[in-house]
Structure 1
Amino acid sequence: MMPNSEHGSSLVDVSHTIDERQETLVDNELSSSTKVTYPEGGRDAWLVVLGAWCGLIASLGIYNTAGVFEVVVSKVLLPEYSQSTIGWIFSVYAFVNWVCGVQVGPTFDAMGPRALIIAGTVCTLIGIFALSVCTGKF
């Protein structure tokens, strides 16, 4: 059976109109003075994936080792304190880690990744090195 030519052309016109509307919306959104481009495949796109992986593996890797640090602190550095007394230190660490993450998104949008990477690296290194010289619960 052949479709009615009038009905068939109507469908083509509707889909053509929808495509034009979508193109118009996209064109209007990108007509600002600064156009945002994203790497769509290739070396640049995979470098973005690698950078995200490196950032997440470092931050979540240290976060996941908090339990190991807690055991070392409670058995070696502060054996005179109970684990429940020492546990709040790592609870505060987990809380600060996730609460500060809420502010990272808007800061990244406003300033880009460079400031966040520098601040995060410096704070993490200072924290880890300070933990190595702790001799008491302050």
Structure 2
Amino acid sequence: MADIEAGPGERDGDPNAHMVFTVGLIGAILMLALLIFGVVLFQNVQALEIEEKVFTGRPVELTQQQTLQLASISEYRYISEADGVVAIPIDRAIDLFVARVREDPRQASPVAPASPDEQAQSESMEATPDTQPAGVP
């Protein structure tokens, strides 16, 4: 230590304040530049995505699929000719449903029958006696 002359205000092992400030300033500028770069990149990608969605036409596959689906709900057809199950157009089905609701709102939708598991469970619940001990409400 005797060989190194310390300047006024400098002590051995203390960080150089000017160097810390310079590194901090450069780091802050780099972080700001990185942030601005990220925002600009995001905005450019977003603009390209919007341009692609707005200016390009609808995919042919989508148009074909929508046409097929619309046709399947817009015409009469047999679902099962042997069982006599027929599909009717959606507009007619809506009219029939609304008429049924107006007649009797409680009977508008049929109740789905219970599955075999649900039937077995309800029967077993009815068959088992009350298992609570005496004196328990």
Comparing both structures, which one devotes a greater share of its residues to strand?
2
Task: Settle same-fold status: TM greater than 0.5.
Answer: no
Higher RCO (CA-CA < 8 Å; seq separation 6+): 1
Comparing both structures, which one devotes a greater share of its residues to helix?
1
Instruction: Return the index of the structure with the highest Cα Rg.
Output: 2
TM-score normalised by structure 2 residue count: 0.29
